[in-house]
Amino acid sequence: MKNIITLVFLFFGQILMAQDGYKLWLQYAEIKNPKLVEDYKNLNAQVQLDTTTATGKVILKELNLAFDGMLNHTVAKSSEQPTLLILKHAALPQSLKKEFKELEDLPEDAYKIQATRLDKREVIVISSTTETGLLYGTFAYLREMQRHKDLSQLEITDAPKIKKRLLNHWDNLDRTIERGYAGFSIWDWHLLPNLIKEEYIDYARANASIGINGTVLNNVNASAYILQDDYLQKVKALADAFRPYGIQVYLTARFSAPIEIGGLQTADPLNAEVQNWWNEKAKEIYTHIPDFGGFLVKANSEGQPGPNNYGRSHVDGANMLAEAVEPYNGIVMWRAFVYSDEKPEDRAKQAYSEFVPFDGKFKDNVLVQVKNGAIDFQPREPFHPLFGAMPETPLMMEFQITQEYLGGMSHLAFLPKLFEETLQADTYAKGAGSTVAQVVDGSLTNKKLTGMAGVSNIGNSRNWTGHPFAQANWYGFGRLAWNPELSAKTIAEEWLAQTFTPDPEFVKPMTSLLLDSREAVVNYMTPLGLHHIMAEGHHQGPGPWVKDLGREDWTSVYYHKADSLGIGFDRTSTGSGALAQYAPEIENAYKNIETTPQEYLLWFHHVPWDYKLDNGQTLWYNLARKYQDGVEEVEAMINTWQDMKPYVGEQVYEKTRMLLSIQLEEAQWWRDSCLLYFQQFSNKEMPEFIPEAKHTLDYYESIRDRYAPGIKPSWD
Amino acid sequence: MKNIITLVFLFFGQILMAQDGYKLWLQYAEIKNPKLVEDYKNLNAQVQLDTTTATGKVILKELNLAFDGMLNHTVAKSSEQPTLLILKHAALPQSLKKEFKELEDLPEDAYKIQATRLDKREVIVISSTTETGLLYGTFAYLREMQRHKDLSQLEITDAPKIKKRLLNHWDNLDRTIERGYAGFSIWDWHLLPNLIKEEYIDYARANASIGINGTVLNNVNASAYILQDDYLQKVKALADAFRPYGIQVYLTARFSAPIEIGGLQTADPLNAEVQNWWNEKAKEIYTHIPDFGGFLVKANSEGQPGPNNYGRSHVDGANMLAEAVEPYNGIVMWRAFVYSDEKPEDRAKQAYSEFVPFDGKFKDNVLVQVKNGAIDFQPREPFHPLFGAMPETPLMMEFQITQEYLGGMSHLAFLPKLFEETLQADTYAKGAGSTVAQVVDGSLTNKKLTGMAGVSNIGNSRNWTGHPFAQANWYGFGRLAWNPELSAKTIAEEWLAQTFTPDPEFVKPMTSLLLDSREAVVNYMTPLGLHHIMAEGHHQGPGPWVKDLGREDWTSVYYHKADSLGIGFDRTSTGSGALAQYAPEIENAYKNIETTPQEYLLWFHHVPWDYKLDNGQTLWYNLARKYQDGVEEVEAMINTWQDMKPYVGEQVYEKTRMLLSIQLEEAQWWRDSCLLYFQQFSNKEMPEFIPEAKHTLDYYESIRDRYAPGIKPSWD
């Protein structure tokens, strides 16, 4: 009987409550500080807003949800004297109008939040010239509350620096997601248009809360069938659901759709029947969805059809579609991610070579959408040389939020750090200080049409993104699309405080963890400018040995070029010459190994194994050191996370703990397999700080992940 | 300013709280009746149980969760005197042992719950001879509490009537699910074994709560790779997670695995190398998972490899695998769902023809797994003629919980009604009253190894099953596997009370709705014994016109045989003769149209259009009437549901409302398209109660659902 104990129950509801991540950064967690609760209740005692509009209703619903959560079911006092006014500028009481006059000169959807006085009472006013601006202001206000800020001195004026702030879903109509690591697509096409899931609304709320104002629903490797009437009904249902949140829907346009669903013999953009087909299709779409955003197109890239199939140019193709949507204020986003099927030119050069001659030739409603780097969303790439090289063309930034090359769903990598690095890079297009951010936000060359796209990491996982910390990348993308000058640090602090707790004992160490996390991934995957050495096809795990594929530039050996002399891709004038696509300031600095920043060393140079880096150690030593640093950084993340246990729910604590253990294993896998592989070429001893590898190189090379996520499913 | 109103907040936390369905029937909703709360608190003031075991810990966790939810965070009183004892029989206080002595004579995992007296105090005792029995007893006890039952007179003794109570997951390793309509597979293979998701635990809790004690993790159309070591590590992780809940894992065995992953030249079951490979594989599996359940095999069926490939029989194949797992108490479940590639025999006859000669030839640890009907999980089928025809062989029932043929995820169809109909059917195998249930539970022919399998409807949807009411089918399957004599009505009442509210104002009308729902589906899809007239491939929606496929018995026209004379499949001696596979009592009754039950009319007979049914109306009239009845029944469901709004959360109310509207549209689609199609043959006027069809037959025949769920994904 010794083992049979009598237990007394102690109920801790909150401990048992599931914190499953569904609420994202809109937790609206109960505030425990009684003084703060009192202050917040007083300031939010009574709100004045217009709920005759769809967006007004949405704002009221959000306030209810937020105050309910944060202020714990408290009934606000009734009074005819509002304490919180959420009103369009034109509807403000006369005495306040002047204080908010600046709104008239700010970009669309700007808002101002101001603690002020009205009829001698203290009030908070949120105002904008647009409904959507009011919603953005409300979310900004709630963000301050979630961060437990003092509201009594509040004064925030903010406006989006970029006009089109879009998610790109690489979601297929069968609900699989290319490079998706968080389950099935949230778009349940089969049950649309009749079933509007709660998830669609919460998706719109989350996006609106960070200023995202558009979403491309389907994959750039597109199915034409989404343009058929039955699917357009479904798209319309989503557009209707998203509209109150200021979110427009966009679709990808498969260039050959006139053939596949239109019954035409050609998709030649200069053919009148083809042009007419697209014009009629656009008309049909806009009949269903008057505020349809437009088309995103991947053409003549990786097997997708395009104008080149008919001897026409990207300009011909883009302008044809642009004409079709122009009458309705639609836009075309034409991707610059192309590389030739024939030319054996360095892939890093091809988009530039192809697109620079087109500068100034696109119609006004065309954005050329350019990936952050010239290869393909690697853990680190120099900024894409097109930024700064097409002054007459609005260039839209394409970031990848889903972690195709940064560990899928199992690695914690805070991507705003990567995004920030690209945005703050100097193109020198108009002299020093001509940052990529200024190209993208249009300020450098005075562009009105501006955009930023993020390839979504969202699926139907309970917490949306699989990894709890992958939510931060969605959040961070949205914030940077609104304001590309925001720092990764600010974003980390905001997200942590809202998602978990504003307690500085948590936010401070975790901000460091987040800010360091992406460099850890670079270190244990592709340090010193290495790139594209991952496993084939699914891109999960190391694969520096990958060779002999259909194309040379799909292999790893093509990119690292390791041999007995050294390692790295010579892109200077003695090599592919890709460096010459950058401004002279960059070219001059990077053309010599000595003056090339260490993080881009092997991107631009083939460097001897014995070459001494700044620290006096050889390249081989430094390569090993970086791999080891990466592993140790993950170990440090694990230690930090263990200390965070008191601040987070048990469920997210355990899940993150387990994921970090996977990340550590995979970091070691990268280190061990890459170093063993490269050692064959360097012929050097492994530095002593590198522990013995668990397996042989043969074993690592034999690993196959037949059912890896994010690729075309296999049933066999 | 008129439209700008001043609002006073009223906070209703519960209204805003998401009732997203994740908790299934384990809602543990707060009890509002103060008297009941008081009683429950007193009776559960203090519990005595052994938490040194994994299952004991699980019981304690469940009690915490349940009391927290139902009794609202109340701290139970401390005392050395337990009010609730959850103890194995051997550990009961001496004075109680006699009262629970019957447990020793009951099947494994039986439990008894008894309100009794101990040391002159009122106590509740839950006892069993096994740990798992204690868990089942605890869940049964919590079920009573969730139904707000008086506990003071509680006396429940219950034991499982069937030994192997299994879910069959048709989940592929790429996380798609064959015939799955609720998202991706919950098995996140890529992150196993390191990430144990909260969903795995909640899956195990839900299954244990209804007595399910095994799960086949992967598709019967199997990948051999799950038998490789890396996947076995993942399977082991799941087995470890499920073990405390009394749930064993099973795998499907691809018959050709010795070739595909073993490097052998053959998979011939009489080949010594092949036998040795399976013996070693079994040994390897049991090293990882000592309580591994065994193998499920689909062999020589629909393209799957099997012993016939080598001129061997199903007995040869099954017994080889049975020998491999026999040393470890493993079992083999060998599916009888076979139909020949060559023989043009009525498919309804083939499993019987193939398997009856094998009766008594299988090893003792083989179960032959038989679908409920001879075709394939149709909305209604007569029971499979194998039941009762293999007295020397234990037959395992296979039901399909996922609604492959009953509307996918969008139709509300309460399947326990279907299951009950099959289980209560009389085989006459040992005279009248020899029900299918008695065959399956072994009582008819004294079998010890018994089993029931349900093809899972679970996916990674937030509410597990997509349709909120599909949860009831998972629940009902489990309850019937435990006790095949349970009525569909009891199951409906239990599930409704636990999932929503025990309020009779809700439970009563909703029980009627559930009990009627499956017949509605039969009526608007396949009334009067029609079957297999659905769309090709994905099986969603009507397709009576389907013909000219790879095999005749994949078409619809093969099954309905409509012509100018009549409609239906003659399976009497003048037709395929399949009727002769049933007992003489059935054959004699069904051989004549007049004495054939109306619901099986066109299953067994080709009936003239003008044939008069019992109601004096023609077959054509009755066919139309049934289709219309089905539609009207859905309309009635919608009306009932509207009245239920006060009793359920807003989210589930709205979702179900929208799904019912889809169901109504699709019921009309079935009615209109099938009647238009059959009218071509009957050449009769549409009865006046049939409204004019929305579209032409040509239109209905042209509908293609290229991206329907549940089939092999297409990325194009």
**Least CB-CB distance to A4: which of B50, B184, B716?**
B50
B279/B370 same-domain check? yes
pLDDT above 50 (res A508) = yes
Contact list, B708 vs chain A (CB under 8 Å): 190
**Residue among B13, B174, B197 minimizing CB distance to A73:** B13
Give the whole-angstrom CA distance, residue B554 versus residue B548.
9
Given pLDDT bands bounded at 50, 70 and 90, which one contains residue A76?
low
Q: Chain A residue with minimal CA distance to B715?
A: A172
Q: Is B376 a catalytic residue?
A: yes
**What is the distance between the alpha carbons of residues B637 and B490, in angstroms, rounded to a whole number?**
20
Asked if residue B408 and residue B548 are part of one domain, the reply reads: no
Mean pLDDT for all residues in chain A: 95
Decide which of A113, A136, A158 is a domain's last residue: A158
Decide if A48 and B172 are in contact by the 8 Å CB cutoff: no
Residue B8: what pLDDT? 47
**Whether pLDDT at A117 is above 90:** yes
| CA dist., res. B430 & res. B449, Å (int) | 20
Of the candidates B4, B5, B716, the beta carbon closest to that of A223 is on: B716
- Domain CATH code at residue B549: 3.90.1330.10
3-state helix, strand, coil in chain B (%, to 5): 45, 10, 45
Which residues of chain B register pLDDT less than 50?
1-17, 75, 77
Boundary-marking domain end, from B158, B181, B209:
B158
What element of type H or E holds A390? none
- Chain B residues close to A537, C-beta within 8 Å: none
The residue in chain B having the minimum alpha-carbon distance to the alpha carbon of residue A192 is: B662
Partner residue facing B7 (CB), from A13, A16, A47: A47
A48 with B225: Cβ contact below 8 A: no
CB contact under 8 A, A409 and B191: yes
Which of A48, A127, A184 has the highest number of chain B CBs within 10 A, making it the mutation to test binding with B?
Answer: A184
Name the domain boundary from A99, A124, A158.
A158
Please report residues of B whose CB lies closer than 8 A to that of A170: none
Three-state SS for B335?
Answer: strand
**Which pLDDT belongs to residue A72?**
78
Mutate which of A60, A96, A174 to disrupt the B interface (most B C-beta within 10 Å)?
A174
A16 — pLDDT class (breaks 50, 70, 90)? very low
Q: A305 vs chain B: nearest CA distance in angstroms?
A: 13
User: Which residue in A has a C-alpha nearest to residue B52's C-alpha?
Assistant: A3
Active-site residue identified among A404, A494, A629, A633:
A404
Residue A261, in any domain of the structure: yes
pLDDT band at A9 (very low <50, low <70, confident <90, very high): very low
Contacts of B91 in chain A (CB under 8 A): 1, 4
Domain annotation covers residue A5: no
Q: A716 and B1: CB-CB below 8 Å?
A: no
Based on the structure, what is the number of domains in chain A? 3
The side-by-side arrangement of strands in the sheet containing B155-158 is: A4-7, B47-50, B84-88, B121-128, B111-118, B155-158
Contacts of B28 in chain A (CB under 8 A): none
pLDDT digits (tens, 9 = 90+) for B435-454: 999 999 999 999 999 999 99
**What are the φ/ψ torsions at residue A349 (nearest 5 degrees)?**
-95, -20
Q: Do A707 and B8 touch (CB under 8 A)?
A: no
In a domain, A595, yes or no: no
Does residue B1 lie within any of the structural domains? no
Q: How far apart are CA A405 and CA A372, in angstroms?
A: 14
Nearest to B75 among A4, A9, A68 (CB): A9
* A contacts of B2 (beta carbons < 8 Å): none
By the 8 A CB rule, do B96 and B139 touch?
no
CB contact under 8 A, B190 and A67: no
Which residues in chain A are contacts of B173 at CB distance < 8 A?
Answer: 706-707
* Beta carbons of A634 and A523 less than 8 angstroms apart: no
Residues A150 and A175 in one domain: no
Q: Are residues A247 and A197 in the same domain?
A: yes
Characterize B312-329 residue by residue with b for buried, 16 or more Cβ atoms within 10 angstroms of its Cβ, and e for exposed: bbbbbbbbbbbbbbbebe
Q: Is the pLDDT of residue A2 over 70?
A: no
CA distance linking residue B585 with residue B590, whole number of Å:
9
Interatomic CA distance for residues A380 and A403, integer angstroms: 12
DSSP H helices in B383-432:
416-423
In a domain, B580, yes or no: no
Q: Is the CB of residue B449 less than 8 Å from the CB of residue B164? A: yes
A52 to chain B: closest CA residue:
B3
A535 shares a domain with A560: yes
B716 domain-assigned: no
Contact A9 B76 (CB under 8 A): yes
Q: To probe the interface with A, which of B87, B195, B403, B660 has the most A CB atoms within 10 Å?
A: B195
How much is the pLDDT for A81?
87
Report the CATH number at residue B377. 3.20.20.80
- A131, A171, A268, A376: the active-site residue: A376
Q: Who among A48, A184, A409 is closest to B6 (CB)?
A: A48
Question: Among the options B102, B104, B150, B302, which is catalytic?
Answer: B302
Name the burial class of residue B206, with classes exposed (0-12), middle (13-18) and buried (19+) by CB atoms within 10 angstroms of its CB: buried
Same domain, A149 and A172: no
Contact assignment for A659 to B67 by CB distance below 8 Å:
no
Distance between CA atoms of residues B714 and A397, nearest Å: 30
Pairing of strands B294-297, B331-335: parallel
What does the pLDDT look like over B644-693, one tens digit per residue? 999 999 999 999 999 999 999 999 999 999 999 999 999 999 999 999 99
Residue B536 is assigned to a structural domain of this protein: yes
Report the C-alpha gap between A542 and A630 in whole angstroms.
14
Distance separating alpha carbons of residues A611 and B63, to the nearest angstrom: 66
Domain hosting B106: range is 22-158
Say yes or no: B464 and B413 in one domain.
yes
- Closest partner residue to B75 (CB to CB) among A11, A64, A409 is A11
Of A47, A651, A709, the CB nearest to B190: A709
E strand or H helix at B394: none
Q: How many residues does chain A have?
A: 716
Contact B714 A174 (CB under 8 A): yes
CB B184 to CB A183 under 8 A?
yes
Cβ-based contacts under 8 A for chains A and B = 231
Q: Is the dihedral of CA A387, A388, A389, A390 positive or negative?
A: positive
Tell if the CB–CB gap between A176 and B176 is shorter than 8 Å: yes
Computed on alpha carbons and rounded to an integer, the radius of gyration of chain A in Å comes to 26
Q: Are A479 and A628 members of one domain?
A: no
Rounded to 5 degrees, what angle do the CA atoms A699, A702, A706 make?
A: 135
Instruction: List the Cα angle A525/A526/A530 in 5-degree steps.
Output: 160
CB contacts of B256 in chain A (<8 Å) are none
User: Looking at the structure, do residues B483 and B350 belong to the same domain, yes or no?
Assistant: yes
Other CB atoms within 10 A of residue A682 CB: 24
The 3-class SS string of B172-240 reads CCCCCECCCCCCCCCCCHHHCCCCCCHHHHHHHHHHHHCCCCEEECCCCCCCHHHHCHHHHHHHHHHHH
The average pLDDT across A476-504 equals 98
Among residues B109, B158, B398, B404, the one annotated as catalytic is B404
Q: What is the pLDDT of residues A284-326, one digit of tens each?
A: 999 999 999 999 999 999 889 999 999 999 999 999 999 999 9
Q: Using the predicted structure, report yes or no on whether residue A118 has a pLDDT greater than 80.
A: yes
The answer on B470 and B397 residing in a single domain is yes
Residues A112 and A177 in one domain: no
Whether B3 is in a domain gets the answer no
Residues of B whose CB is below 8 A from A461: 460
Residues near B352 by beta carbon (within 8 Å), at least 6 away in sequence: B374, B384, B385, B386, B389, B581
pLDDT for A12: 38
Point out the catalytic residue in the list B376, B381, B629, B666. B376
Give the residue carrying structure tokens 């970086």.
A626
Give the pair of three-digit tokens for residue A151.
């509201």
Residue A70 sits in a domain of what CATH number?
A: 3.30.379.10
Q: Which of B543, B517, B541, B539 is nearest to B630 (CA)?
A: B517
Rg of chain B in Å (alpha carbons):
26
Is B64's CB within 8 Å of A716's CB? no
**Which residue out of A302, A364, A503, A552 is catalytically annotated?**
A302
**A236 lies in the same domain as A357:** yes
**Residue A599 C-alpha, separation from nearest chain B C-alpha, in angstroms:** 31
Alpha carbon distance A204, A416 (integer Å): 21
pLDDT value of position A714: 65
CB contacts of B13 in chain A (<8 Å) are 68, 73
**ipTM for the complex shown:** 0.95
